[in-house]
Amino acid sequence: MTNALAFGGEPLENILVHYNNFLLERPTGEVSSIAVTALQVNRETCCIRALNYGGPPPLYVDWQGWVQTLGGRASSPLGWFQDAVPITTGIAIPPGPIWMWTDGLEQIAEELGMSAPAVAYALLESGSAVDAEWLAAAGDDILLACIWPGKSAESAREACVHPLIADEYGAEMLAEVDSLQERWSRSLRLALPGLADRVCYDLLLCSREAVINALKYGCADSEHVKFQVVYDAPKEALCVRVSDCGSGYDFDFDGHAEDDLREPVLGHRGLLLMHRLSSRVVTSRNGAEVMMEFETRTPRCSEFENTR
Amino acid sequence: MFSTAPSLTLDAQNKILRYHVAGDVISTTARGLRAELERVFESAPAGAFEEFEIDLKAARMVDSVGLNFLVWLWRSVSDRGAKLRVLISSPDIDRTFQFTRLSSRLEVDLHS
């Protein structure tokens, strides 16, 4: 029915209203509902419009490398209410794909203690040969799509930047940092099973330091810290981004590092670790936003590497 | 006699005080370790030990708070005229000690 209406030139939002009415007109007592997320791509205007009725919001990576969602969650599925209103979002076509999945994927990610984007990446990478044991724990169907809105369906698949973790934490999560770290570790191990132990260690340690700093000093009671990890496949690097709502602070990192060489200092050691264990650190907003890069192919060789 | 903890043993003959840590030395554990050792040092008579050996072989991670704890421990032990030895089994922790140049201050034994 949906296809027929679409080919007939009916606008997408009207099709979804018809679908909602169709579900509502089922015999009394029979409740039938479906979560729908629809994307409308206009390559002439380079715009995308997303309409979401109760589904997990689609994800994409923006031009700055941040993982973004298309709309929030506060909508109901089709078939519940006559006056159902979708969450409608419009964006310019992003540099890479848009990832969409059903709530079955979020459920299994939660059961496994992992992030949904990491589970999505693991499934997409296994292609048609999905036989993972962990998938047997799925309590619901999983539908997963990776759509390149800027490319035709016939285009060859390109390496791109994949979201692996896209979380937000409130200040209360400071006490839970060990379990957050465990969740990051599990997510990375599933998504990138060949990841070298030392790269994983460096990323986890630096992420821990950055998130603790953000939660302690940059996050008021009702605010949230953003924590994201993406896998930049063309660069073969993992990129961690941490952002808080604070104003940051001036810090003479180079002077501090020099002092530490003369005599081990107490304090700000987390920043030293972040700079020395990652292959690149970029800060903005006075340090309230931090990006750290970790090469996955050839772990960084340090000048101190062979000193023992 | 000084305050003891289940994870603490004294080799009286060689004057080595050994302290075993059961897991990671990180922000959520380091403060407790320091509090325990502060009690030990406060009650230890001068010259009770010449070497303090901290066994971190069970640790998989030492974060910045853990490193600060080790700097504090190094200072406390040095102030007592003793030397500090750190036992580890993780090459990643060893690398962290090198990056932060703690290995130049502490005696670190890496056990594979």
**Residue A306 identity:** N
pLDDT band at A162; cut points 50, 70, 90? very high
Task: Decide if B101 and A270 are in contact by the 8 Å CB cutoff.
Answer: no
Residues 6+ apart with CB under 8 A from A184: A115, A165, A203, A204, A207, A229
**pLDDT, position A306:** 44
**pLDDT, position A6:** 76
Task: Decide if B64 and A305 are in contact by the 8 Å CB cutoff.
Answer: no
Residue B22, chain A, CB below 8 Å: the answer is no
Q: State the angle between helix axes of B64-79 and B30-43 in degrees (0 to 180), rounded to the nearest 10.
A: 10
Position with higher pLDDT, A139 vs B55: B55
Calpha distance A170→A19 (Å, rounded): 38
Residue B27, chain A, CB below 8 Å: the answer is yes
Numbers of helices and strands, H then E, in chain A? 8, 12
Q: Can you give the residue range of the structural domain that contains B98?
A: 8-110
Residues 6+ apart with CB under 8 A from A153: none
Residue B2, domain member (yes or no): no
- Tell me which DSSP letter residue A109 carries: H
pTM of the model: 0.88
Calpha distance B42→A8 (Å, rounded): 85
Residues 6+ apart with CB under 8 A from B20: B7, B8, B9, B55, B58
Residue A170: pLDDT over 90:
yes
User: Which chain A residue has its CA at the smallest distance from B62's CA?
Assistant: A205
Residue B76, chain A, CB below 8 Å: the answer is no
Residues present in chain A in total: 308
How close A114 gets to chain B, by Cα (Å)? Answer: 20
Residue A302, chain B, CB below 8 Å: the answer is yes
* 3-state SS class at A208: helix
Residue B23, chain A, CB below 8 Å: the answer is no
Q: Which two tokens stand for residue A48?
A: 């995308």
Residues 6+ apart with CB under 8 A from B105: A264, B71, B74
Position with higher pLDDT, A249 vs A273: A273
How close A230 gets to chain B, by Cα (Å)? Answer: 23
Task: Decide if A270 and B63 are in contact by the 8 Å CB cutoff.
Answer: yes
Residue B72, chain A, CB below 8 Å: the answer is yes
Taking residues A10-14, report their average pLDDT.
Answer: 87
pLDDT band at A264; cut points 50, 70, 90? low
Position with higher pLDDT, B65 vs A247: B65
Q: Which two tokens stand for residue A153?
A: 């369906």
**pLDDT, position A117:** 98
Task: Decide if A302 and B95 are in contact by the 8 Å CB cutoff.
Answer: yes
Residue A224, chain B, CB below 8 Å: the answer is no
CB A98 within 8 A of CB A70: yes
How close A266 gets to chain B, by Cα (Å)? Answer: 6
pLDDT band at A308; cut points 50, 70, 90? very low
- pLDDT per position as a tens digit, A99-111: 999 999 999 999 9
- Tell me which DSSP letter residue A66 carries: -
Calpha distance A240→B54 (Å, rounded): 33
pLDDT band at A5; cut points 50, 70, 90? confident
Residue A183: pLDDT over 70:
yes
**pLDDT, position B2:** 58
Residue A178, chain B, CB below 8 Å: the answer is yes
Domain boundaries, chain A: 1-94, 161-295
* Chain A contact set for B27 (CB, 8 A): 177, 208, 212
The CATH number of whichever domain residue B32 belongs to comes to 3.30.750.24
Q: Which residue in A198, A273, A305 is closest to B64 by CB distance?
A: A273
Mean pLDDT of chain A: 87
Q: Which residue in A178, A265, A304 is closest to B98 by CB distance?
A: A304
How many other CB atoms sit within 10 Å of the CB of residue B32? 10
What class does CATH assign to A161-295?
alpha beta
Range in A49-58, A152-161, A189-198, A225-234 with the lowest mean pLDDT:
A152-161
In chain B, the number of structural domains is 1
Q: What is the DSSP string of A10-53?
A: --HHHHHHHHHHHHHTSPTT----B-EEEEEEETTTTEEEEEEE
Interface of B with A in 79-108 (CB under 8 A): 91-92, 94-96, 98-103, 105
pLDDT band at A304; cut points 50, 70, 90? very low
Taking residues A258-279, report their average pLDDT.
Answer: 80
Task: Decide if B72 and A208 are in contact by the 8 Å CB cutoff.
Answer: no
Range in A207-216, A250-259, B33-42, B62-71 with the lowest mean pLDDT:
A250-259
**pLDDT, position A286:** 83
Residue B3, domain member (yes or no): no
CB B19 within 8 A of CB B3: no
* Residue of A253, A240, A182, A249 whose CA lies nearest to A211: A240
Calpha distance A105→A107 (Å, rounded): 5
* 3-state SS class at B56: strand
Residue A208, chain B, CB below 8 Å: the answer is yes
Taking residues A51-57, report their average pLDDT.
Answer: 91
- pLDDT per position as a tens digit, B52-105: 999 999 999 999 999 999 999 999 999 999 999 999 999 999 999 988 888 888
Residues 6+ apart with CB under 8 A from A182: A113
Q: Which residue in B67, B92, B95 is closest to A269 by CB distance?
A: B67
Most B CBs within 10 Å, among A185, A195, A205, A275, to test the B interface: A205
Name the region of A127 (left: φ>0; alpha: ψ -120 to 50; beta: rest): left
Q: Report the largest interatomic distance among the alpha carbons of chain B, rounded to a whole angstrom.
A: 39
* Chain A contact set for B74 (CB, 8 A): 264
**pLDDT, position A307:** 42
Range in A101-115, A245-259, A286-300 with the lowest mean pLDDT:
A245-259
